[in-house]
Chain A
Amino acid sequence: MEALLLLYVLIPLAAAFIIPVIGRLWDAFAKLITPLALVMLVVIALLSMIDGTPAIYSVGGWTPVDGIPIGISLIKDGFSGIMLIVINSIAFLTSIYAGSYMNKYTTTHKFYTLFCLMIAGMNGVVLTGDLFNLYVFLEIASIASYALVAFGVEKTELEASFKYQVLGGMASLLILLAISLTYWMTGTLNMADISNLIRTQSFPTTVTFIQVLLIAGFGMKAAMVPFHAWLPDAHSSAPSPISAMLSGVLIKAIGLYVLFRLLFNVFVITYEISLTILILGVLSMIIGGLLAIGQSDYKRLLAYSSISQVGYIALGVGLGLVILSNGGDKDLAALAILGGLFHMVNHAVFKGLLFMAAGSVEHATGLRNLNQLGGLGRMMPVTSGTSFFGSMAISGLPPFSGFFSKVIIILAAIQANYYVIAILAALINIITLAYFLKLQKGIFYGLPASGMNKVREAPVTMLVPMIILASLCLALSLLIIPPIRDVVLMPAVECLMQTTNYATTLGL
């Protein structure tokens, strides 16, 4: 049913505005209704992915007239289908986790309002088919995340939120400039219509300038090097459920997803832009990995490792772009893009798990420095076990899911004769293993540090999402098996590879 596409935006928006009205009378209302709303969305997303057909919904009933689309349409195809499942499931597990974590903050019903608004914004970005509507939903998600980073008003949180807001505001400005130049050039705002016009007529220099502005704007939102300066402060100072959401889902849904959608399906692929994305991916991977080794704060180390893993994703998809623009082997490009998208799904799961474990340690002890913590494995067995699973998965050890996605990216690089990139990827993988082993030893193993004797395990509502995510780390390696891969991942790869499919789904 196509009207189900509306529910992804309507349900979080309605929940976000019912919570202040009823939350004044009944305190626990917000904690109950947010997981309920999100589990409905997870079920709808899973059922529609198994169904597999693309769905289009024209809002307001404005159907195309004479072949010119007027009005806004919501389009769900393979790539947006898998992003919807990732966003809604991680949000559901985080909202259960936040039920007991937020007990130390006041006015928690405002937290749930902002959280639901952020989910509505991200769902809107993934579903929409109109450029300016994309900008509006992008701003809704960004402004809600600025407020959530500064939620407990300590000194460091406010400073981190201010830096995040100024840089994020500049990024949104560059995106608005690119959208206005696109409107000037083509005269329409519908993404399918723009893709038809750019392929039939040709505007060489203006299109390159627009693509550079889009890479700068969305690169700032996705925290690729050299636009990464806000990420370590913002992700380490935010409350832990928000760090899990930001680092696992937000930088991919509003940064990388939109960039890949616009570069593959709307604009024509050229060699220089593809090489730019490949080089930015390699730089992010190297600099994020090297800067993470010297950190002694638990959450800052995890934030730098996020930059490094985003570099892996950009490397995989950038390699596919370069091969496609050279006119090379299509199967090889599909392999590289498969590696990149599989790593996107994996990283959401294990980065969410690692930040939840960090929050559990902070809830129990109140400290975040690696030099002051130690030997917590005896007192907090579930936390240390799930954190061990997450660390082994992110370092790429078999049989966890991270091993398969990294091996696919390195294999694609070797087969495309980019040997230097393959060696660098393997080297940074070893460095990732090194700093995660340092993290595990420093916090969970060894002798207990002074003052750690009275530490107890975290409450049950915080442990259940961590156990579910840890078992997903193992279960997602099943996505390599060809029948499951054809249902889940290959539709996403197909709709990026067939670059003109997006225009034809609208019937133009």
Chain B
Amino acid sequence: MIVYLLCFILFLIGLYGILTQRNLIKIVIGLSIMEFSVFLLLALIGYINGGEAPIITPGEPIPQFVDPLPQAMVLTAIVIGLATYAMLMAIAIRLYKKYKTFDIRKINQLKG
């Protein structure tokens, strides 16, 4: 029960980072922390008490395994997250080149 509560606290820390920070890169890091908390929750869902890692070695009896499907889902989601952050960082560097600053209070040309 307490591990799920820790996942939720990590989600809130990431949300605090997006809402209050003014530097562009820190906003991206806040989004990244939020995403890791969801991956942790997804990997913890498959845990069975007393289970072991789901690898078959030939010649030994098969013990109780934990669920391998959430682990495959987290691996795919990490790859998707990599593509998202590569895009965000490329846009952040181009923004610095045009506006000469990373502060979001000064990047506000679109209004209305």
**Contact B42–A176 (Cβ < 8 Å):** yes
Asked if A170 meets B31 with Cβ closer than 8 Å, knowing A155-B109, A159-B109, A159-B110, the reply is: yes
Residues in chain B near residue A172, CB distance under 8 A: 84
**Contact B76–A156 (Cβ < 8 Å):** no
Query: How distant is the Cα of A147 from the Cα of B87 in the complex, in angstroms?
Result: 7
- Say if the beta carbon of B62 comes within 8 Å of chain A: no
Query: How distant is the Cα of A376 from the Cα of B69 in the complex, in angstroms?
Result: 60
Instruction: List A residues 183-206 near B (Cβ within 8 Å).
Output: 183-184, 189
Residues in chain B near residue A295, CB distance under 8 A: 112
Stretch binding the partner chain, chosen from A20-28, A161-169, A470-478: A161-169
**Contact A136–B80 (Cβ < 8 Å):** yes
Smallest CB gap from A180: residue in B: B42
Residues in chain B near residue A177, CB distance under 8 A: 38, 41
| Chain A positions 132 through 154: 1 when the CB is less than 8 Å from some CB of chain B, otherwise 0 | 10011001000100110010011
Query: How distant is the Cα of A69 from the Cα of B76 in the complex, in angstroms?
Result: 21
Query: How distant is the Cα of A102 from the Cα of B74 in the complex, in angstroms?
Result: 38
**Contact A159–B95 (Cβ < 8 Å):** yes
Q: Which of B45, B73, B88, B112 contacts A165, CB < 8 Å? A: B88
**Contact A162–B24 (Cβ < 8 Å):** yes
> Nearest Cβ distance between residue B11 and chain A, in whole angstroms?
9
Residues in chain B near residue A232, CB distance under 8 A: 112
Residues in chain A near residue B109, CB distance under 8 A: 155-156, 159
**Contact B84–A158 (Cβ < 8 Å):** no
* Interface SS, B side: helix
Residues in chain A near residue B18, CB distance under 8 A: 166, 170
Query: How distant is the Cα of A274 from the Cα of B108 in the complex, in angstroms?
Result: 37
**Contact B38–A233 (Cβ < 8 Å):** no
Counting chain A residues whose Cβ lies within 8 A of the other chain, the interface size class is: 35 or more
Q: Which of A155, A183, A189 contacts B99, CB < 8 Å? A: A155
Residues in chain A near residue B76, CB distance under 8 A: 132, 136
**Contact B91–A162 (Cβ < 8 Å):** yes
**Contact A183–B91 (Cβ < 8 Å):** no
Asked if A300 meets B38 with Cβ closer than 8 Å, knowing A139-B80, A158-B95, the reply is: no
Asked if A158 meets B42 with Cβ closer than 8 Å, knowing A136-B80, A166-B31, the reply is: no
Residues in chain B near residue A184, CB distance under 8 A: 45
Residues in chain B near residue A139, CB distance under 8 A: 80, 83-84
Q: Which of A160, A162, A180 contacts B45, CB < 8 Å? A: A180
Asked if A143 meets B84 with Cβ closer than 8 Å, knowing A183-B45, A237-B110, the reply is: yes
Q: Which of B24, B80, B94, B99 contacts A153, CB < 8 Å? A: B94
- Say if the beta carbon of A434 comes within 8 Å of chain B: no
Residues in chain B near residue A180, CB distance under 8 A: 38, 41-42, 45, 70, 73
Smallest CB gap from B96: residue in A: A158
23 CB < 8 A contacts A-B: A136-B80, A139-B84, A143-B80, A156-B109, A158-B95, A159-B95, A159-B109, A160-B110, A162-B24, A165-B91, A166-B31, A166-B88, A169-B35, A173-B35, A177-B41, A180-B45, A180-B70, A180-B73, A183-B45, A183-B73, A237-B110, A295-B112, A297-B112
Tell me the B residues contacting A by CB distance below 8 Å: 18, 24, 27-28, 31, 34-35, 38, 41-42, 45, 69-70, 73, 76-77, 80, 83-84, 87-88, 91-92, 94-95, 98-99, 107-110, 112
- 15 more A-B residue pairs beyond the given contacts A132-B76, A170-B31, A180-B45, with a C-beta to C-beta distance below 8 A: A136-B76, A139-B83, A146-B87, A150-B94, A154-B98, A156-B109, A159-B109, A162-B95, A165-B88, A166-B27, A166-B28, A180-B42, A183-B70, A184-B45, A297-B112
